[in-house]
Amino acid sequence: MAELLSQPFSWLNLIIMVSAGVVVLGVVLVFVMYAIYFERKVIGWMQLRNGPNRVGPWGLFQTVADVLKLMIKEDIVPAKADRFLFLIAPIIAYTPAFAIIAVIPFSENVFFADVNVGILYYGALSSISITGILLGGWASNNKYAIMGGMRSVAQMVSYEVPLIMSFLGVVLLTGSLNMKDIVAAQQDGMWFIIPQFLGFVIFLIAGNAELNRTPFDLPEAENELVAGYFVEYSGFRFAFFMLSEYVYIFALSSVMTVMFLGGWDAPFGLTFIPGGVWFALKFLLLVFYLFWARATFPRVKTQQLMGFAWKVLIPLALFNVMITALFKTISQAG
Amino acid sequence: MAVRTEEMLLNVGPQHPSTHGVFRLVVKVDGERITEAIPVVGYLHRGTEKLAEDLTYTQIIPYTDRLDYLSSMTNNYALVQAVETLMDLEIPERAEYLRVLAMELNRVASHLVWWGTNLLDLGAISPFLFAFRDREFIVNMLNELSGARLTFNYMRVGGVKWDAPEGWIKKVEEFVPYMREKLKDYHTLVTGNEIFLARVKNLAIYDDKEAIAYGMTGPVLRGSNVKFDVRKNQPYSIYDRFEFDIPVGETGDVYDRYMVRMNEMEQSLRIIEQAVAQFPEEGEIIAKVPKVIRPPEGEVYTRMESSKGELGVHLVSKKKDKPYRLKLRRPSFVNLQLLPKLLVGRTMADIPAVLGAIDIVLGEVDA
């Protein structure tokens, strides 16, 4: 795919690129549908329930039916809402989430763009989504939605900092921002979860907060704010907000797999299993963790959340960067 | 340039996921901070007290089911206790034991619902389902006893309506160790959780003086270190025969109220255990009561410890088959009065936590 970008423009290339985009969109949509199914099943089992089991065998088509239902529902715009902003907010929230997927290498050969600043690109794009969420909350002209939007911005802006700082340890060890290089570095040595365990934990917590998921789901806290920033949304615009949440799960788990769990690298020399399978396994483990956390934890409060980010996570992340740099310098000198 | 900010008036409820029914709270918020909170009640008002004036005593019993619908058995008892006191009735042993068993089981069931919903308010979704799994055992047992799962309509003036079916006592006996085991699980899942502790410790503190001044009773009073339980301080029925403790808290925060209720469940299990051991093999389940109940002329106030607090019944009889006046002292309503004071200065996220710790049931608040 990457070489296409450097070629001169032609209609054929455009068609190839657009169709590749459509294929990714399809893959992502299927992932999102089955991630929701997986989540509902996992949480169902943890809560002594069966989860969805009516539509199709084992309820496999439940989420498909849900998505279809959302598509054909009326798209309600509140009379007092800021119509234009209200309409574009879900798109602003969704597009960057989708664009992130372009830089993630799923295996040695399956990737869309081999970008030299892959991780930076991830960090930069994921902050754009906040705009969509804030706009959604503001344009709805609903008090609960504004509070949800406010919380969301405060939370995401704070957690972006430790999230990106936790990258730095890995970047220092590798000397590259390119995701493929990072995996290659882990193939030669060990997975970065071992030397960068602190970074991994910080990334996991900050990432969980970025995703607005339990225990950091304050922006959509059902018991306080009913639904938070998307309380006024219905139909496919609501679906877009949901979609961007799950696409972020997809993106974040993928990035973690690449950065800390060795990407498609096979452990214990089990190389006969293709790298794509390993990637999927590690990735699903992280997704499962997010669902597990959702079934277990209560929600934190705003002050506690912010305090935790600024007083605990950021110093820890800085400490991690410093230690990593120190070791790197010593090992190079010696 | 200074940014102009203004307070926002926010209507929480009556349709809101965590107000536990049709409770409405008008809050003024400055950002997330609450500067004023005004509870609005009455959406579920059915005029039970007035309706009772046109009903015979037996007919009132189903109405009491619908006050605090999570512990209908205790409500049943509150009414029949008042009538029995006025008539000076002797209740058969077996009936007394059946009543105590039903009431204590119901107390556990009520606390389980509180536990589940309060945790749900704090954002933890699983405890709710665990609580309902265990409550189901109790509901099934009470169903076998009374034929209903929620509004039991089980007690009658002079005794109870139905005898325990065969094998019922055995089931209750087996339930006690099961529930003890589950309570341990509950503590492991929730009580030690750091996030949970951070949410409830030192939240909405009031001391014993304030609690008494506001007429609070039940776990919300005991959480502030007041050892008062009608079952102990003014024993009714056969509660003087059982050994049990009154759990109290120390600081009077939400966590203490949580712990009081958790420990109360254990104490209720203790009472159930003893009641099962002492349960008389046979005997009458209802005293000789005239077909039409006409209590002698007079006035009586009786009280009992429901799962929410002191449930009192003030009954005035003019020697008719219907009460002249019936006044219910509903603990949920009284306990709610401190809420506006507790919420001021706290944030939006604390509303469900504080409200949940008071444990109101709107059927009882609005009557």
Asked if pLDDT for residue A76 goes beyond 60, the answer is: yes
pLDDT digits (tens, 9 = 90+) for A158-215: 888 888 888 888 888 888 888 777 777 777 777 877 777 888 888 888 888 888 777 8
Distance from CA of A215 to the nearest CA of B (A): 8
- Give me B83's structure tokens: 């009538």
pLDDT band at B348 (very low <50, low <70, confident <90, very high): confident
For B230-236, the CB contacts below 8 A with 24+ separation are: B230/B303, B230/B304, B230/B305, B230/B310, B231/B304, B231/B305, B234/B303, B236/B81, B236/B302, B236/B303, B236/B304
What is the rounded average pLDDT of the residues A93-101?
Answer: 84
pTM of the entire predicted model: 0.87
- Hunting for tokens 């309503």 — which residue is that? B333
Give CATH for domain B47-366. 1.10.645.10
Nearest to B257 by CA among B215, B212, B202: B202
Out of A297-301, B44-48, B77-81, least confident range: A297-301
Distance from CA of A17 to the nearest CA of B (A): 43
Out of A20-34, B68-82, B263-277, least confident range: A20-34
Nearest to B314 by CA among B121, B81, B31: B81
Q: How far apart are alpha carbons A219 and A297 in whole angstroms?
A: 16
What is the rounded average pLDDT of the residues B156-168?
Answer: 88
Per the CB < 8 Å rule, is B17 touching A300? no
Residue of B nearest to A46 (CA): B126
- Give me B148's structure tokens: 């209903």
Which residues of B fall within a CB distance of 8 Å from A205? none
Q: How many CB atoms lie within 10 A of CB B54?
A: 10
Backbone angles phi, psi at B90, to 5 degrees: -95, 125
Q: In this structure, which amino acid lies at residue A193?
A: I
Which residues of A fall within a CB distance of 8 Å from B129? 47-49
DSSP string, B229-286: -HHHHS--TTGGGS-------SS-SHHHHHHHHHHHHHHHHHHHHHHHHH--SS--SB
pLDDT band at B1 (very low <50, low <70, confident <90, very high): low
From first CA to last CA, the distance across chain A in angstroms is 42
Per the CB < 8 Å rule, is B124 touching A298? yes
Nearest to A191 by CA among A249, A261, A123: A261
Nearest to B245 by CA among B259, B254, B237, B358: B259
Distance from CA of A77 to the nearest CA of B (A): 21
**Is the pLDDT higher at A92 or at B17?**
A92
What pLDDT, on the 0 to 100 scale, is given for residue A13? 80
Distance from CA of A327 to the nearest CA of B (A): 33
Which residues of A fall within a CB distance of 8 Å from B33? none
Q: Where are the domains of chain A?
A: 1-72, 76-333
pLDDT band at A5 (very low <50, low <70, confident <90, very high): low
Q: How far apart are alpha carbons A168 and A118 in whole angstroms?
A: 13
Asked if pLDDT for residue B16 goes beyond 70, the answer is: yes
On whether any CB of chain A is under 8 Å from the CB of B30, the answer is: no
Supply the ipTM of this predicted assembly: 0.80
H helix runs in chain B, sequence order: 48-52, 57-65, 72-87, 93-121, 126-146, 168-186, 194-200, 208-213, 219-222, 230-233, 254-278, 331-335, 339-343, 350-358, 362-366
Per the CB < 8 Å rule, is A223 touching B123? yes
- Give me B61's structure tokens: 């019993």
Q: How far apart are alpha carbons A302 and A154 in whole angstroms?
A: 9
Which residues of B fall within a CB distance of 8 Å from A294? 125
Exposed e or buried b for every residue in A290-314, given b needs 16+ CB within 10 A? bbeebbbbbbbbbebbbebbeeebb
pLDDT band at B109 (very low <50, low <70, confident <90, very high): very high
Which residues of B fall within a CB distance of 8 Å from A224? 18, 348-349, 351-352
Out of B16, B199, B351, whose CB is closest to A298? B199
Cβ atoms of B155 and B313 within 8 Å: the answer is no
- Hunting for tokens 């493929």 — which residue is that? A180
* Contacts with B269 (C-beta within 8 Å, 6 or more apart), sequence order: B104, B108, B176, B179, B180
Exposed e or buried b for every residue in A216-251, given b needs 16+ CB within 10 A? bbbbbbbbbbbbbbbbbbeeebbbbbbbbbbbbbbb
pLDDT digits (tens, 9 = 90+) for B188-223: 888 888 888 888 888 888 888 888 999 899 899 998
Per the CB < 8 Å rule, is A222 touching B130? no
Rg value, chain B, Cα: 21
Asked if pLDDT for residue A2 goes beyond 60, the answer is: no
Element holding B147 (H helix, E strand): none
Distance from CA of A316 to the nearest CA of B (A): 19
Number of inter-chain CB pairs under 8 A, A vs B = 83
